[in-house]
Amino acid sequence: MATHQVTVERRDSLHLKVSRVLREESSHRLDVYLFVPSEIGLNAHVLSEDAFYHGAIHVKRTYYSDRHRLPLVMSRLAGKRLDTDQYRLGLSLYAYQYVVALERSTQALLDQARLARKAEKRGTEKVEKPEQAPGAGKPEDAKEETGRLRDQLEETLDLARGILRRLRRQEPTDESLHRYYANIDNYLSWFTEQQLLALIAHLPRGNDYRQIRTRLLGVCHDEDEHRRARHYNSERVTRDPTRMSNKMRLLRRLIEYPVTLKQRNQELGGGEEKAVKGLATAVVMVFVTLGLLEARAVLGDITALFVLSLAVLYALREVFKDDLRITLWRWLRRGRPKWRRQYLDAHSNAVLGRQLEWFDYQRYSGLDEDIRRVRKRNMAQREEIVLHYRSSSRMSPTRFLSGYDRTRETLTLNLSPLARLMDKGDHHVYRLEEKGQVVREPVEKRHLINLVIREVEGDGTPLLQRWKIVMSRSKIVDVELVHEEETD
């Protein structure tokens, strides 16, 4: 059974983020299939393959480790013998490791908090309506879940405060280093506050969470006071959420730069395309020349009929030259990669790995049996347009930054080109309430896009997943993982 995992989440209104971890030195292959409803009118003439690839697919890789390397990094920072570049690299590693870990922990806690809040709401409804089925709820299970969530919140809070405390003990005195430290400390303080506030907003309202909510609020207040005491941000920036968010976005890029692999992209087949163009021209010219010689032999001297024949031959040349070139080019490039991507270390510029990429439109009948099985399309469904992206990569961990042997790939899919093809309009539906009242409600038109992902590590077992993407013209409404036993 595959041990690897691919996660899909909504990044903002019209972007999907597909994340995976490349674990070993073996090769990795990723297939992403988008099943788009045909009613929106998507085809290769409306949106070409090259346009979608360059405008809607963005790949980023960073160093990754699921083991705690913070003590190692902190020992380097405490050594006080690092030059400016080494200090910035070590501090960015420390901050990035903390940010990724807190994001992952907070997301898991948010999911649990939402479930706990729904359970609390259902419990309130059962109290208000005692005529419902008795014994449906299990209070002891609810108490156990509440206690487990509180413990995990306490642990996350203690870890976050401890990591920030250790960072601030190593505050440098050198002005050039302190400026970099202040930017990192500013972002980590704000980021920690934002994550904790998100948890507070989604926690159940019951008394069971009052104490942990008070602790979370206390830490948020302390971080806000810490930034104010250090004068990290002006009052104008602090009062304006937009300016504050944009500033922190830039500081986040400052942290990620040393751990993000640089990329060098190359489009494949340039020389072959010129050769095919020349070959097509030569083949057509051979037939045109033979036609001219035959016309001269039949018609004799230059006459009006000979000139007309010459015009027809050159017209045929222009038509068949392009058709022959396109046919030869498609035949030659069928199934072959279209782009090559090289990954380089941001610090040493050493080549860490290479990746080949494909993107094309496909017919449902031409898909693999595994993909069709996971899609589970039935006869009642309308036709769909299938977009297929594939990448095949191999990394060299021996050249990685010290302490890291894996990378984390983030594939961002920009669905705004699809959203622009969707209808703007909405309509109203009518609903009858219990007391006989008729209510009119506005309904936005939405479309269902299926996302099927297949990942293979070396000769391992393929991982197959299907996700339902519900989106409108303005935003992605929902992203849901579909398990194999479920049906549409």
Kindly report, residue by residue over 359-409, the tens digit of the pLDDT.
999 888 888 899 988 887 654 456 789 999 999 998 887 788 776 778 889
Query: What is the DSSP pairing of strand 6-12 with strand 426-432?
Result: unpaired
CA–CA distance, 461 with 376 (Å, rounded to integer):
20
Report helix, strand or coil for 315.
helix
pLDDT at 271: 66
Mean pLDDT of 270-285: 71
Residues above pLDDT 70, as percent of the chain: 82
Of residues 25 and 76, more confidence is placed in 25
> Cα(161)–Cα(219) distance, rounded to whole angstroms?
8
CA neighbor of 172 nearest in space, from 259, 258, 72, 87: 87
Other beta carbons within 10 Å of 159: 15
Tell me the three state secondary structure of residue 13: coil
pLDDT computed for residue 52 by the predictor: 92
Please report the pLDDT score of residue 313 as a whole number. Answer: 72
Quick one: which of 451, 469, 414 has its CA closest to 56? 414
Res 145 pLDDT > 60: yes
Per-residue pLDDT tens over the stretch 94-136: 888 888 888 888 888 888 887 777 776 666 554 454 444 444 4
Rounded to 5°, the CA angle 118-120-126 comes to: 105
How far is residue 180's CA from residue 255's CA, in Å, rounded to a whole number?
A: 10
85-89, 206-210, 263-267, 400-404, range with the lowest pLDDT: 400-404
State what percent of residues in the chain have pLDDT above 90: 27
User: Phi and psi at residue 120, in whole multiples of 5°?
Assistant: -65, -40
Which residues have CB under 8 Å from 7's CB, separation 6+? 18, 19, 20
pLDDT digits (tens, 9 = 90+) for 24-48: 767 899 999 999 988 888 888 899 8
* Res. 485: pLDDT tops 70: no
* Alpha helix stretches (DSSP H) within 262-389: 270-299, 304-333, 369-375
Sheet holding 351-362, edge to edge: 262-267, 339-344, 351-362, 384-395, 28-37, 447-457, 463-471, 476-482
Residue 378 sits at φ, ψ, to 5 deg, of -115, 175
The whole-angstrom separation of Cα 42 and Cα 48 is: 10
Label residue 75 by pLDDT band (50, 70, 90). very low
Question: Which of 112-121, 299-308, 337-346 has the highest mean predicted lDDT (pLDDT)?
Answer: 337-346
Is the confidence at residue 206, as pLDDT, over 50? yes
* Model confidence pLDDT, tens digit, residues 404-446: 778 889 999 999 999 998 887 777 888 887 777 888 888 888 8
Mean pLDDT, residues 81-91 taken together: 75
Concatenate the DSSP letters of all residues of 57-91 into one string: EEEEEEEE-SS--HHHHHHHHHT----HHHHHHHH
Q: What is the mean pLDDT of residues 479-488?
A: 72
Sign of the torsion angle spanned by Cα atoms 34, 39, 40, 46: positive
Closest residue by Cα to residue 77 from 178, 205, 3, 154: 178
Give yes or no for residue 60 having a pLDDT over 60: yes
Q: What is residue 127's predicted lDDT score, i.e. its pLDDT?
A: 47
Residue type, 239: R
CA–CA dist 191, 245 (Å, integer)? 10
User: Does residue 244 register a pLDDT over 80?
Assistant: yes
- What integer best gives the mean pLDDT of the chain? 81
